[in-house]
Amino acid sequence: MMRIALLGTGAMGTLFGVRLARVAEVWMLGTWTEALEAARQDGLRLMTAEGEETARVATAADPTEVPPCDLALILVKTYQTERAAQWARQVLQPDGIALTFQNGLGPLETLQEILGPSRALQGVTTMGTTLLAPGHARLSGTGSIWLGATSLNSELLERIADLLERAGFQVELHRDLQGVIWGKLVANTAINPITALFDVPNGALLERSDLWRLARGVARETAAVARAQDISLPFRDPEGFVAEVCRQTAENSSSMRQDLRRGRPTEIDALNGAVVGIGRRIGIPTPLNEMLWRWIKTLEEQRTRVLCPNLPRMPPPWVIAPRLERARS
Ligand code: KPL
């Protein structure tokens, strides 16, 4: 049986933990002690439309406690990627693979730097999950997993796709890694900051014409930055795709809304901030992305300063964008 390390104890960690425990030996590794304790005491719990599923997984707060794993799923926030990658290197077998499902630009490059280019893979998912309590999440809506294949890793990805399908996920393999990453970015840049600022669930963007006009404008801007770099998106119509994700996750609170409410740093720098940084460099205007980036930054700084004063800060997007490009070239 495959042994999998889950790096991340939040809503996505809980979703993947419960599903993968059906087909693999799962170790949840993280620093959030309440979540590890809840998993140890009651198991991980996932609420879905069909009812609640509970799964027993092994837990560890220190990578040295985890036996060698075949696969590490990276499910932490973007600003925690570096530590997660170091931990993945410690828990993986020498030929073990890390697969990130994180939002935004940057995590894959960090994993590739730390583990080597052939041992880091990228997936994205449009499934919406909400954390209800430590170790307890709700899957709010449907959605699938896209895995981005290159000619070097397609066989490996097929095996991972098979594992995820057996665990109950809907999986699609796409032959274009950057297209997969930017496809998800179109949805995240349009949905996450607006739902966080207006404190609404994802479905509200379809119900309120003022919010939808803004979301549609952001989706078009992000798609324009992708196309200007010759990245072919996995859909024709960016707004149609964003509308579809909002429909499928209508009841869900976006991860940025959940972060802001809990006074945690958001992923805005790796989402709208990264689009602004790249747009500036290649001469594509991104005024809506920039406005949302600045608003969220201001709110985030006010809230995290009060609630979580010691959390790390990311450099601004125009510092991150050139770094990303250097890593990619
Ligand atoms: O990825 C998401 C997020 O909230 O970060 C979506 C797909 C928008 C679901 O809420």
pLDDT in tens, 261-286: 988 899 999 999 999 999 999 999 99
The pLDDT of residue 68 = 98
Over residues 22-44, the pLDDT tens digits come to: 999 999 999 999 999 999 999 99
Residue nearest to atom 7 of ligand 1 (CA): 126
CB 284 within 8 A of CB 225: yes
Determine whether 77 is an active site residue.
no
Q: Name the residue of 100, 146, 252 whose CB sits within 8 Å of the most ligand 1 atoms, as the mutation to test its pocket.
A: 252
Cα(221)–Cα(193) distance, integer angstroms: 14
The CATH number that domain 3-173 falls under is 3.40.50.720
Residues in the ligand 1 pocket, defined by CB under 6 Å: 103, 126, 128, 187-188, 191-192, 202, 245, 249, 252, 254-255
- Average pLDDT estimate for 243-257: 96
Where are the CATH 1.10.1040.10 domain residues in the chain? 178-328
The pLDDT of residue 148 = 86
Cα(300)–Cα(238) distance, integer angstroms: 27
CB 286 within 8 A of CB 326: no
Cα(26)–Cα(71) distance, integer angstroms: 10
Among the atoms of ligand 1, which is closest to the Cα of residue 267?
A: 5
Non-local CB neighbours of 216 within 8 Å, separated by 6+ positions: 190, 239, 242
How remote is the CA of residue 245 from the centroid of ligand 1, in Å?
8
Cα(329)–Cα(326) distance, integer angstroms: 5
The pLDDT of residue 322 = 66
The pLDDT of residue 319 = 60
Residue nearest to atom 1 of ligand 1 (CA): 126
Cα(190)–Cα(117) distance, integer angstroms: 30
pLDDT band at 326 (very low <50, low <70, confident <90, very high): low
CATH classification (class only), 178-328: mainly alpha
Write the single-letter amino acid at 311: L
How remote is the CA of residue 269 from the centroid of ligand 1, in Å?
15
The pLDDT of residue 196 = 97
Q: In whole angstroms, how far apart are CA 281 and each of 144, 275, 316, 319, 321?
A: 33, 10, 14, 11, 8
Separation of CA 250 from chain center: 18
pLDDT band at 86 (very low <50, low <70, confident <90, very high): very high
Residue nearest to atom 10 of ligand 1 (CA): 254
Q: Which residue has the tokens 């290197």?
A: 89
Where are the CATH 3.40.50.720 domain residues in the chain? 3-173
Q: Which of 19, 89, 136, 184 is catalytic?
A: 184
Cα(119)–Cα(149) distance, integer angstroms: 13
Residue nearest to atom 9 of ligand 1 (CA): 128
The pLDDT of residue 146 = 93
